Amino acid sequence: MRLPLARVRVVPPVPDAATMLSALPVACAMISAENRFIYANPAAEQFFAISISQLRHLGLADLVPRDSPLFALIEQVRAGEVVVSDHDITFDSPRLQRRGVTVQGTPVTDEPGYVLLTLQDESAARTLDRQMNFRSAARSVSGMAAILAHEVKNPLSGIRGAAQLLENTVGEADRELAILIRNEADRIRDLVDRMEAFGEKPIVRDAVNIHRVLEHVRRLAQSGFAAHIRINERYDPSLPPVWGNRDQLVQVMLNLVKNAAEALTESESDGEITLITAYQHGVRVAVPGSKRRMHLPLVVTVRDAGPGIAEDIRDHLFDPFVTTKPSGSGLGLALVAKIVGEHGGLIEMDSRPGKTDFRVFLPIFLEDRCEIGSSAESD
């Protein structure tokens, strides 16, 4: 007898465990009682930046320093036959550099001494969190800039003019003081001018060739503040144009290259700066004030071989007025974060002695979709 069609329910087959583990975006690796790799899913291959076929010839100690808290965690799992997790682990070895990793170790039934590890890099999530904060910090500067421009600039030009008059009328001893007043007034005016860049103006966008932007910045740098520094270029010439404002992108790259050059100069190192462009799959970010997520496939890295970013300012790096330089204003990175944010992009920092990376993720220009909303892909 044939059943009526409506009653037949086709139950899809359950994929096997290996297929599911392969699809899992979290790094999973199984290690033996001797801490050798038995299995790693594709996310783990990416995490360790080594393929499973190579990993199977390695022990954990080949990748992670022996004093890493990871070994203690694994021993705890074995000793208590329990799940153990640890947060904010740093891996810092020649083959593996990651910070802010959450690790979970689980004993494997039936396989004595085996431990299943999951490793999650939380730093990316935290970067996103901080991005949102940078944007609001920049916004608070924009309000203040408007007030300063109005309330400070006008009286300042009066002070400067008066000092200039005095310079010509007072005696030699007092002239120095008048010059000091004029110079300081100029310094305040420069600061206010820079803060005015934070003003809220709608951005005018077009297709921008990022390599031309970088080339322009490199030339500016080499003919001025970075004349003594070698700047290397590692570009992917096949990249599509960015959907952005050319002048603002020049400002972003110039600020990053200037910081890199200053880091090298201050530390008197003979290191170099490298500008890198690349295509990166899978970076999507929420567009502020909308439910859409934007695809940000183009990444520009400004790398320097300087001493790295001081530990105590890292959490506030993109806030305005954070600086370690005697004559710095601390507005460079705040402006960078504001412009990148307005482009719907992202900025990420990764720094240790000898290698500091600022990575800027940007949207690309799509011929048929020309405004920010429609170049975003909805979830």
Ligand X SMILES: Nc1ncnc2c1ncn2[C@@H]1O[C@H](COP(=O)(O)OP(=O)(O)OP(=O)(O)O)[C@@H](O)[C@H]1O
Distance CA 348, CA 358 (A): 6
* 117 CB neighbour count, 10 Å cutoff: 21
Looking at beta carbons, which pairs linking 109-113 to residues 24 or more positions away fall under 8 Å? 112/33, 113/32, 113/33, 113/34, 113/78
Q: Is 330 in the site for ligand X (CB under 6 A)?
A: yes
- 284-286 and 293-295 beta bridge pairing: antiparallel
* 107 CB neighbour count, 10 Å cutoff: 19
Nearer to ligand X, 245 or 251 (CB): 251
Q: Is 320 in the site for Mg ion (CB under 5 A)?
A: no
Distance CA 62, CA 297 (A): 33
* 30 CB neighbour count, 10 Å cutoff: 19
Residue 236 Cβ vs ligand X, minimum distance, rounded to whole Å: 22
Instruction: Report the residue closest to Mg ion, judged by CB.
Output: 332
265 contact choice in ligand X, Mg ion, none (CB below 5 to 8 Å, kind-dependent): none
Residue 21 Cβ vs ligand X, minimum distance, rounded to whole Å: 39
From the CA atom positions of the chain, what is the Rg in Å?
Answer: 27
Distance CA 326, CA 226 (A): 19
Nearer to ligand X, 26 or 250 (CB): 250
In 3-state terms the chain splits into helix, strand, coil percentages (rounded to 5) of 45, 25, 35
Distance CA 184, CA 174 (A): 16
Q: Is 251 in the site for Mg ion (CB under 5 A)?
A: no
Coil, helix or strand at residue 286: strand
Among 27, 253, 285, 333, binds ligand X (CB under 6 A): 333
273 contact choice in ligand X, Mg ion, none (CB below 5 to 8 Å, kind-dependent): none
Residue 30 Cβ vs Mg ion, minimum distance, rounded to whole Å: 46
Q: Is 341 in the site for ligand X (CB under 6 A)?
A: no
- 206-208 and 242-244 beta bridge pairing: antiparallel
* # residues contacting ligand X (CB under 6 A): 23
Nearer to ligand X, 70 or 305 (CB): 305
Among 317, 340, 346, 372, binds ligand X (CB under 6 A): 317
Sign of CA dihedral 142, 146, 152, 154: positive
Q: Stretches 62-70, 224-232, 238-246, 315-323: which one binds ligand X (CB under 6 A)? A: 315-323
Q: Is 187 in the site for ligand X (CB under 6 A)?
A: no
Comparing CA positions, the residue from 245, 243, 236 lying closest to residue 301 is: 236
Residue 335 Cβ vs ligand X, minimum distance, rounded to whole Å: 8
Distance CA 198, CA 148 (A): 12
Q: Is 106 in the site for Mg ion (CB under 5 A)?
A: no
127 contact choice in Mg ion, ligand X, none (CB below 5 to 8 Å, kind-dependent): none
Give, as ranges, the residues between 245 and 284 that touch ligand X (CB under 6 A).
255, 259-260, 263
Binding site for ligand X (CB under 6 A): 255, 259-260, 263, 304, 306, 308-310, 313, 317, 322-325, 328-334, 356
Binding site for Mg ion (CB under 5 A): 259, 332
